[in-house]
Chain A
Amino acid sequence: KAGVTQTPRYLIKTRGQQVTLSCSPISGHRSVSWYQQTPGQGLQFLFEYFSETQRNKGNFPGRFSGRQFSNSRSEMNVSTLELGDSALYLCASSLEAGNQPQHFGDGTRLSIL
């Protein structure tokens, strides 16, 4: 059974640009969560989607958004990129919303120049 797949693995952008990251959950998993990981702040929750609806949102500015499609695949978008957005973005899936445990992908490493 394939794990959580995140694309792309690496991304380099410049300030002011926008970026879209993709996540395909484990087959049969309906909940997708996104986390930002940085050396200073650690792992921070961005948002969770279940059945194409955002169920929960972390304390991030509106530049961070996401969506989920009918096949449970999810995308997150960051607009007007800032240097501080450089991070590893991790996607995790679980069977149901709030139904732990969450299974993580290998992440997308985003670097802002």
Chain B
Amino acid sequence: AQSVTQPDIHITVSEGASLELRCNYSYGATPYLFWYVQSPGQGLQLLLKYFSGDTLVQGIKGFEAEFKRSQSSFNLRKPSVHWSDAAEYFCAVGARQAGTALIFGKGTTLSVSS
């Protein structure tokens, strides 16, 4: 079955510290991979995406993610977290053909301490 697992429900990081959010997926073929961020009361904002090519992708707000096919993982990283990064983060996978939906993980809530 197709699924996305974000093992960490809640993570707290000190401001200025590095961050890694984990994402593992189960899919029939190599999917498109995404990370979205959601602030309270808002919709989802796309941070970055992986379609093909270089397995290390850069996104907005200083985030990056690395696709590891052998581990079926797409972990999100940021070298130095800012208080404004506190939000909920969702990993998602989608098929490469038309007519298919995004499958989301349950999300990881990031808190930033001063």
Contacts and interface: CB of A to CB of B under 8 A. Distances in A.
A100 B43 contact: no
Contacts of B105: 42
Contact of A100 (B42, B94, B106, B107): B94
A90 interface: yes
A101 B99 contact: no
A20 B43 CA distance: 19
A105 B43 contact: yes
Chain B interface, >50% SS class: loop
A4 B97 CA distance: 23
Contact of B49 (A4, A45, A101): A101
B25 to A, nearest CB: 14
How extensive is the interface on chain A, given as a class? 20 to 34
A42 B43 contact: no
B46 A103 contact: yes
B45 A104 contact: yes
A103 B60 CA distance: 14
B67 interface: no
A107 B99 contact: no
Nearest to A102: B102
Interface residues of B, number: 26
B90 interface: yes
A104 B36 contact: yes
B74 interface: no
Contact of A42 (B46, B49, B95, B104): B104
B53 interface: no
B44 A98 contact: no
Contacts of B104: 35, 42-43
Interface in B68-96: 90, 94-96
Of the candidates A50, A55, A102, the one having the most CB atoms from chain B within 10 angstroms of its own CB is A102
A48 B105 CA distance: 19
Interface of A: 4, 6, 33, 35, 42-43, 45, 48, 50, 55-56, 58, 90, 92, 96-107
